[in-house]
Amino acid sequence: MVLTVQEIGKCFGQQMVLQGVALSVAERQTLSVLGRSGCGKTTLLKIIAGLIAPDSGTVRLHGAEITKKPTEQRNVVYLYQEPLLFPHLTVFENIAFGLRLRRLPNNDLTHRTTRMLEHLELQAHAKKFPHQLSGGQKQRTAFGRAIIIAPDVLLLDEPFSSLDPETRASMQHLFKQLAQEYGIASLFVTHDLKEAILMGDSIGYMEAGKLTTFASRQEFINHPDYGARNEIEFWSSLRQQATNHDHAATV
Amino acid sequence: MSSKSNLDRAGFLLFLLLAILPMAAGLLYAASYSVGLAGLLSEGFTWEYWGRPFQEGNQIFASFAFSLGVALAATAITLLVALLLVLTVRRSLDSGLLAHLSTIPLALPGTVLAFVILQWCSGSGIAARAAYALGLLQTPAQFPGIVNDQYGVGIIIAQVMVGVPFFALLFTQLWHSQRISQLMELAQTIGATRAQRAMRVAVPLLLHRAFPTVMLHLVAVIGVYEVPLLLGVQSPQMISVLTMRNYAMFDLQQKPEAFICAILYTLLSLLLIAIAWRRMHRMDHEQSA
């Protein structure tokens, strides 16, 4: 397993935010964590990233405990809901940011960043600043900036929530493609049922600080408590109705 | 026409009447005086006065260079200290005692501030006497001359004392509006150490956003009057002091030079303000995107 989280607990004052949370993410796999706003998803991601210290429990990366390791030494990148690009840097410099921190030789840095720009179809925008980009382009830049340093785990906190449906769909597709290509393990947090099913190789459901994980998508879909089956049936019946209507119109 | 646009038009006219017209009239008078078209000794159009700054021994350009040097040094030190404060004690600057205390120097008039520095830092000041009493000096006169000195150290200290709280407050506000905490966290997960986060995210971003204000601060320091009057030396003088000296002299032949100084200072200020405006316009565009 790349990432293993065991018995994580966290309180803010009197409020218990996380309680005995456990999960694991295998190599090249994405675990979707579905849950309503305020259920503790973001706190969980920030604990894994090292931005918040847990009250109890452990976080392991490739078997080694990293619970107390400084954030900058974990190689776990956290992506916010918004792209949060550095406004004073161009697209090229935003993507190259992590490589500059690692003091890569200039040739290598330029080569790798240019390749990433091509991959993300952002070559034409390399010299632009974030305010000159569309929402989708910003999000692609944010992905590029995260992936270029080959993180062990990528933590995504509802990264597509601010995008329109069309851009959202294309970004979901792009993310799956990049995750496969670069072999990245990821934890994808969302409150959107469809997105959770679409993005995750396995799925977890979080409610009031407790996480229930399912080994496969099918297991989650078949579970009666989470409404996935109802959702699928609703869309299937709608499609059936539309097909019948088209057939009747043709006749 | 709506009442709002009437109000806008009235406001613009008032601004034109009270701010722009008197200034334009003053500049026109200064320009006329500097070419011999106005004043008691006016003898008709001449470029003679404009040739004076280029004559040997004339202090105008030396004074400009000194003013610019003092302003650049004071602004650079101010920014450095304010950035250090924001990076180290930002939470205290947000609220609490330090937040209130830091605004006190902003309320001090320049003259008072200059006297405070004179009392503390002059050869016969408190610091010199204390050093003498502690046996660090043989005589108080050995105390390094940091007021009324030829490098303008006293003037720089005074400007830094006023500038630091102002920029610390500005940077604290920018820290929130530019979401620098979140950008720093993000940089941290990408692998940035504390120093890298400061140098690659916070500092460039704060300076980028504060640039127009920095330019306006520079203009203000170049033109400051009371502080260099009390803490400066006879030569070189800050441009404001030199202008006033030339203007108030009994020798009326010096008056055109005062107007030349004023015109040159106005042109320099307008240039710096234009640069600030350009950047502000660009930032408005960035914010609205």
- B185 vs A51: CB contact, 8 Å cut-off? yes
User: pLDDT digit of tens for each residue in chain B (289 aa)?
Assistant: 567 788 888 998 999 999 889 999 999 999 999 988 888 778 888 888 888 888 888 888 999 999 999 999 999 999 999 999 999 988 888 777 877 887 888 888 888 989 999 898 888 888 888 888 888 888 777 888 788 888 899 999 999 999 999 999 999 999 999 999 999 999 999 999 999 999 999 999 999 999 999 999 999 999 999 999 999 888 889 999 999 988 888 788 888 889 999 999 999 999 999 999 988 888 877 766 6
**A78 chain-B contacts, CB cut-off 8 A:** 185-186, 189
Cα-flanking dihedrals φ and ψ of residue A182, to 5°?
A: -95, 0
Per-residue pLDDT tens for A18-62?
Answer: 999 999 999 889 999 988 888 888 999 999 999 999 999 999 999
Minimal Cβ distance to A145: which of B190, B201, B289: B190
Domains of chain B by range and CATH?
Answer: 73-288 (1.10.3720.10)
Number of domains in chain A: 1
Chain A: residue whose CA lies nearest to B199: A101
Taking the Cβ of residue B179 and every Cβ of chain A, the question of whether any pair is shorter than 8 Å is answered with: yes
Q: Which residue has the tokens 């209130």?
A: B100
Cα-flanking dihedrals φ and ψ of residue B51, to 5°?
A: -80, -20
Minimal Cβ distance to A72: which of B179, B191, B286: B191
H or E stretch covering A53: none
Minimal Cβ distance to B186: which of A74, A75, A84: A84
Separation of alpha carbons A91 and B207, rounded Å? 20
Q: Who's near B24: CB < 8 A, 6+ residues apart?
A: none
Neighbours of B132 (CB within 10 A): 17
Please report the ipTM that was assigned to this predicted complex: 0.86
In a domain, A226, yes or no: no
How many residue pairs from chains A and B have C-beta atoms closer than 8 A?
Answer: 64
CB B110 within 8 A of CB B227: yes
CB A57 within 8 A of CB A9: yes
**A100 chain-B contacts, CB cut-off 8 A:** 200
- A50 vs B189: CB contact, 8 Å cut-off? yes
Chain A: residue whose CA lies nearest to B201: A86
CB A17 within 8 A of CB A53: no
Chain B interface, best mutation among A45, A77, A97, by max B CB count within 10 A: A97
In a domain, A74, yes or no: yes
Q: What is the predicted pLDDT for the residue at B132? A: 87
Taking the Cβ of residue B81 and every Cβ of chain A, the question of whether any pair is shorter than 8 Å is answered with: no
Q: At what angle do helices B255-288 and B21-34 cross, to 10 degrees?
A: 140
Per-residue pLDDT tens for A49-95?
Answer: 999 999 999 999 999 999 999 999 999 999 988 889 999 999 999 99
In a domain, A241, yes or no: no
CATH number at residue A172: 3.40.50.300
Give the range of the structural domain holding residue A16, as residue numbers without chain letter.
Answer: 3-86+151-215
Asked which of A124-138, A146-160, B137-151 is least confident by mean pLDDT, the reply is B137-151
In a domain, A244, yes or no: no
Hey, which residues does A24 pair with through a beta bridge?
A4
Q: Which of the pair, B231 or A239, is modelled with greater confidence?
A: B231
Amino acid identity for residue B68 in this structure = L
Q: What rounded mean pLDDT belongs to chain A?
A: 88
Q: What is the predicted pLDDT for the residue at A215? A: 77
Q: Which residue has the tokens 């109890």?
A: A56
**B204 chain-A contacts, CB cut-off 8 A:** 88
- A101 vs B191: CB contact, 8 Å cut-off? yes
Taking the Cβ of residue A154 and every Cβ of chain B, the question of whether any pair is shorter than 8 Å is answered with: no
Taking the Cβ of residue B283 and every Cβ of chain A, the question of whether any pair is shorter than 8 Å is answered with: no
H or E stretch covering A4: strand A3-12
In a domain, A10, yes or no: yes
Chain B interface, best mutation among A69, A131, A149, A157, by max B CB count within 10 A: A131
Nearest CA of chain B to the CA of A217: how many Å?
A: 29
What count of residues does chain A have? 251
